[in-house]
Amino acid sequence: MGQTMTEEEVQPDLVDNKQYSVDEATADAEFLRFIDAMDIDLATGHMSRQDKDDLIRNKRKFVRAVMMGKLVVNDAGEPVLTTVDGKTFTFREPMGSDMKAIESVSGREGGEITQTFKYLGSLTGTSAGAFSSMKKRDFVVCEAILGFFST
């Protein structure tokens, strides 16, 4: 049976000098709403130490983005990211067709980043190109969201 994360592991310290528009408790509740809506298993008993560390890091990025006001969870439990450029991306639950979309990337253009862009485009109903021009501070949130879909 899977072991759940300890409170210390699940609640990363988010104290820094930034002004946030959402308090940490509310942001954490939004994270849990996303996890529940997408039926994501956070049990860590089967995870390697690296996977646990990635989970903690991804949760921290997700919660911090909510606190900053650039990530919200809609009524369907889907994360919605608004970038610094004002573009909005809604991440729906992955389906088999999303995996097929990245499978079609091959040859020189089949690198990991190209596949990630293609997967993100498929999940958000946009194009891979929308992510190639995205600023790093927004892209790390996208990577964090993807991390939850691969657990």
CA distance 95 to 71: 22
Domain residue ranges of the chain, discontinuous segments joined by +: 21-149
Name which residue leads in pLDDT, 95 or 2. 95
For residue 44, pLDDT beyond 50: yes
State the pTM of this model: 0.82
Q: Is the dihedral of CA 125, 72, 148, 85 positive or negative?
A: positive
Across the beta sheet with 71-73, the strand order is: 71-73, 79-82, 88-90
| Helix ranges, 1-151 (H) | 7-10, 24-37, 49-68, 96-103, 112-124, 129-132, 136-149
For residue 2, pLDDT beyond 80: no
Range of lowest pLDDT (49-58, 68-77, 93-102): 93-102
